[in-house]
Homo-oligomer: A and B are copies of this chain.
């Protein structure tokens, strides 16, 4: 996804939140906003939002000398999410369709985003997401392709959310590789966060090698890119990964809540909508049947 003009004020808001996380010094925060204001001029709108977000967060870290402003919050998010784990597993036990319920739980985990949603109540928001219908739901296709897949590449998003991802991984019953960011960036999950969430018990954790808030392939490690290229079933969680991968010409299932109007418009849904959206362009063009494939996609939409 390209960067829209509407993203520019949002970058400034994000810088303000991160700066406040990193320091209590108002003067320093003003200096950071001044610097970020001046950075806007050098932002090409052709870049994806995570590419720009990366530069802005690095500026905040550099100017405050705090390399991981969200550390404490991330640990607390995971702790709180873990406290919900038994109740969520219980929901799976009681459900008619375990896989579908696990997908709903994974999307509910995507609400844990203190960056897009500053004042959130985790239990309330999770319940709300579980009761919410998907705006786009390519579930049949998801199930079919999952069935045929050798293994799953699961690209994680935020800390805390990992706990919810773990539940989906447990229900997919396929060998899974779970991808985290290569370095701390906002509240995104790193190796440490995935480990705290117990992902290591259900999947192999690898790093994308990027320190951006999304899987920016241009700066991912060669190792990750090899895994990504050879994977036959990819799940991409959250906005940052969608923004970075939405133009990819390969099959990917995007699982996210559209947390802002801009991303919602880009996808063709409404702000706040949740979706499981399959993109299968490469396979379609490989088989010379894009139209048929798009038709299948629409039929799968709930």
Measured CB to CB, the closest approach of chain B to A120, in angstroms, equals 15
Asked whether B29 lies within 8 Å of A5 as measured between CB atoms, the reply is yes
Provide the A1-25 mask, 1 if CB < 8 A to any CB of B, else 0. Answer: 0000110111011001000000000
Instruction: Give A residues with C-beta under 8 Å from B.
Output: 5-6, 8-10, 12-13, 16, 26, 29-30, 33-34, 36-41, 45
Closest-by-CB residue of B relative to A19 is B5
Q: List B contacts of A29 (CB < 8 A).
A: 5
Asked whether B6 lies within 8 Å of A9 as measured between CB atoms, the reply is no
Tell me the bound Cα distance from A30 to B3 in angstroms: 11
Tell me the bound Cα distance from A258 to B77 in angstroms: 32
Closest-by-CB residue of B relative to A29 is B5
Asked whether A9 lies within 8 Å of B5 as measured between CB atoms, the reply is no
Q: List B contacts of A34 (CB < 8 A).
A: 40-41
Asked whether A16 lies within 8 Å of B6 as measured between CB atoms, the reply is yes
Tell me the bound Cα distance from A26 to B41 in angstroms: 14
Q: Which of B5, B16, B26, B30 contacts A33 (CB 8 A)?
A: B5
